[in-house]
Amino acid sequence: MTTMDSLRGLTYPSTYMPAVAGPAERRNVLLVESAAGTEGVAVHPFLLCQDWDQRVVIHWEDDHASRTFTVLNITADADDLFEFVREDEPAGTVRLTPMTYEQFEREYRSRDPEAGNVPRFENDEQFRRWFLPG
């Protein structure tokens, strides 16, 4: 598991990719959740330490654009969960977990009005190709 000290030790622009992102040959589409509930989708998450102010930030792409948040602490870093404490509003604990296309269709699509722009998927490979092209 990575620590805030090891992340602060990264020489900018070096980055750290959480284990939950999956191996390079098979990246995961991730579900983003907090105390408020489901927040969205994340792909290609990485953390870095900004050299000008020593803030650790996490950045990821999603189904709309991208997101960047300041990280106060890392509480889990495993293949099935990356959990951190977010400073930015809404502040608090955020969890990234691997998401299947069934979860996307069942749990996420109905909660996000803009998910209607994402095609319906028949299998995991279609889902992965949409969110993780190339």
Q: Which two tokens stand for residue 14?
A: 């070096």
Specify the amino acid at residue 126: Q
41: confidence class by pLDDT, cuts 50, 70, 90? very high
Q: Alpha-carbon distance 52 to 122, whole Å?
A: 46
DSSP annotation of 22 reads: -
Phi-psi region of 37 (alpha: psi -120 to 50; beta: other; left: phi over 0): left
If one counts every other C-beta atom within 10 angstroms of the C-beta of residue 69, the result is 18
Q: Alpha-carbon distance 42 to 134, whole Å?
A: 16
The predicted pLDDT at position 35 comes to: 95
The predicted pLDDT at position 27 comes to: 94
* All residues at 6 or more sequence positions from 87 whose CB lies less than 8 Å from its CB, including other chains: 69, 70, 71, 72
38: confidence class by pLDDT, cuts 50, 70, 90? confident
Q: Alpha-carbon distance 110 to 102, whole Å?
A: 12
pLDDT digits (tens, 9 = 90+) for 77-101: 999 999 999 999 999 999 999 999 9
The predicted pLDDT at position 73 comes to: 98
Q: Alpha-carbon distance 50 to 57, whole Å?
A: 8
Q: Alpha-carbon distance 50 to 64, whole Å?
A: 25
